[in-house]
C-alpha cells in the first residue's frame, strides 16, 4: 500500500506546478519577480492561518507551544523560499518552462546533505541510489544545446542552482520547524508551521517591496484576479508539502517532488507550446524511474 506522504507529495507537486505556470504568466502582466513572489504569500497567508485555527477549534485542542527553535527554523526556511522563488520567476525568462523547473531540482542532493548535517536524518543506500537516478535525469535536462556541455556557466543555470540550494534550505527549515511543534497530529504540526512561515514571509516581502520596489504592491493588488489565484494554488501546494515534511524525511519528500518536472513538461507541451527534445524526454524518463524507485524502497 502506498504511504500517505507519497500521495500527499504527488498531489502537492501537481498543484505546485500549476502555481509556477500562473507565476510565469504574471511576468507578462508587468509584475517584477518580487511582485510575482509576493502574490504567492499575500493571498496565501490568511488561508493558512484560517486552516490552522479551524483545525485547532474543530479538534478542541490548544495551540502547541512554539519554542525559539521553531521560529528560527520557520523564519530561516521562509526567507530561503522567498529568495528561491524570486530566482525561479526570473529564471523563466531565460529557458523554457520545463527546463527552468529542472534547474531548481539541484536541491535534491543538497536536501539529503542538509538533512544529515542539520537534522541528523540520514537516507538509506537504496534511497540515495534512487535520488542519483533522478539527478542524472536533471543533468540531461540541463544539457546546453549547441554547446555539447553542461549549462553550468550562464545566468540561467546560476539562477537555477541558487534556487535549488535555497529551496533545499527551505525544506530543511520547514521539516525542522514541524519537529519542534509538540503535537501528535502531523496535520496540526504542518498547518501551524505553514501559518507561521507564510505570515513571516508576507511581512518580510511587504517591507522589501516598500523599500526596493515602490509601487509594486499596488500593481500586485490591481491584478488580484490572477495574483489571488497564485496565492490560493501556492498555499494549497504548500499545505501538501508541509504535511509531507511532518510525516517523512525532507530528502525523500523533495526527491519525490521531482514529479513537478514531469508535470511541467506536460504543461510545456499542452499550454506553452514549448518544443521538447528527445534528450529531455530521456531525462524525464529517468526522473520517472527515480520517483517509482523511491516509492518502492522508502
Residue 11 lies in domain:
4-297
Residues near 19 by Cβ (< 8 Å), separated by ≥ 6?
40, 230, 233, 234, 237
pLDDT at 151 over 50: no
Inter-residue contact 178 to 238 (CB < 8 Å): no
Alpha helices in the chain, H assignment, sequence order: 4-26, 33-42, 45-58, 68-91, 97-104, 107-114, 125-141, 155-179, 186-212, 216-222, 224-247, 250-256, 259-270, 278-297
Given the DSSP bridges, would you call strands 143-144 and 149-150 parallel, antiparallel or unpaired?
antiparallel
Q: Which of 27-41, 142-156, 181-195, 265-279 has the lowest mean pLDDT?
A: 142-156
pLDDT per position as a tens digit, 223-251: 888 778 878 888 888 899 899 999 998 88
The answer to whether the beta carbons of residues 249 and 115 sit under 8 Å apart is yes
Spatial CA neighbour of 19 closest among 212, 274, 231: 231
* Span 5-25, average pLDDT: 80
When pLDDT is cut at 50, 70 and 90, the band that residue 135 belongs to is confident
CB atoms within 10 A of CB 23: 24
DSSP of 90-110, one letter per residue?
Answer: HHTTTS-HHHHHHHHTTHHHH
Residue 243 has a pLDDT of 93
How many CB atoms neighbour CB 25 within 10 A?
17
Query: Cα(222)–Cα(219) distance, rounded to whole angstroms?
Result: 5
CA-wise closest residue to 78 among 185, 183, 208: 208
Indicate the burial class of 216 (C-beta count within 10 angstroms; 0-12, 13-18, 19 or more).
buried
User: How many domains, the chain?
Assistant: 1
pLDDT of 63 higher than 60: yes
CA–CA separation, 253 vs 241, rounded Å? 8
**Structure confidence at residue 205 as a pLDDT band (50, 70, 90):** very high
Cα separation, 268 vs 3, whole angstroms: 30
Q: What is the mean pLDDT of the chain?
A: 82
pLDDT at 12 over 80: yes
E strands in 159-213: none
Confidence category of residue 18, pLDDT binned at 50, 70, 90: confident
pLDDT at residue number 101: 59
Amino acid at each position: 500500500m502506498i504511504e500517505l506522504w507519497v500521495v500527499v507529495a504527488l498531489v502537492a507537486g501537481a498543484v505546485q506546478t500549476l502555481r509556477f505556470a500562473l507565476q510565469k504568466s504574471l511576468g507578462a502582466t508587468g509584475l517584477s519577480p518580487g511582485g510575482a513572489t509576493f502574490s504567492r504569500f499575500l493571498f496565501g497567508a490568511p488561508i493558512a492561518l484560517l486552516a490552522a485555527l479551524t483545525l485547532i477549534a474543530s479538534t478542541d485542542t490548544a495551540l502547541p507551544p512554539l519554542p525559539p527553535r521553531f521560529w528560527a527554523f520557520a523564519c530561516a526556511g521562509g526567507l530561503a523560499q522567498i529568495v528561491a522563488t524570486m530566482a525561479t520567476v526570473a529564471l523563466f525568462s531565460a529557458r523554457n518552462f520545463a527546463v527552468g523547473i529542472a534547474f531548481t531540482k539541484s536541491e535534491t542532493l543538497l536536501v539529503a546533505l542538509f538533512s544529515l548535517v542539520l537534522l541528523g536524518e540520514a537516507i538509506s543506500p537504496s534511497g540515495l541510489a534512487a535520488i542519483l537516478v533522478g539527478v542524472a535525469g536533471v543533468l540531461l535536462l540541463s544539457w546546453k544545446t549547441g554547446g555539447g556541455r553542461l549549462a553550468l556557466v550562464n545566468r540561467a543555470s546560476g539562477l537555477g542552482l541558487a534556487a535549488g540550494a535555497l529551496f533545499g534550505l527551505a525544506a530543511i527549515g520547514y521539516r525542522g520547524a514541524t519537529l519542534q511543534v509538540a503535537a501528535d497530529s502531523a496535520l496540526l504540526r504542518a498547518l501551524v508551521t505553514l501559518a507561521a512561515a507564510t505570515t513571516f514571509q508576507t511581512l518580510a516581502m511587504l517591507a522589501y517591496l516598500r523599500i526596493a520596489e515602490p509601487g509594486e504592491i499596488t500593481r500586485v493588488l490591481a491584478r488580484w484576479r490572477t495574483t489571488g489565484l497564485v496565492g490560493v494554488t501556492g498555499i494549497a501546494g504548500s499545505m501538501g508539502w508541509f504535511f509531507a515534511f511532518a510525516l517523512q524525511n525532507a530528502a525523500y519528500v523533495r526527491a519525490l517532488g521531482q514529479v513537478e518536472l514531469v508535470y511541467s513538461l506536460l504543461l510545456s507541451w499542452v499550454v506553452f507550446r514549448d518544443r521538447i527534445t528527445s534528450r529531455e524526454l530521456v531525462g524525464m524518463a529517468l526522473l520517472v524511474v527515480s520517483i517509482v524507485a523511491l516509492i518502492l524502497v522508502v
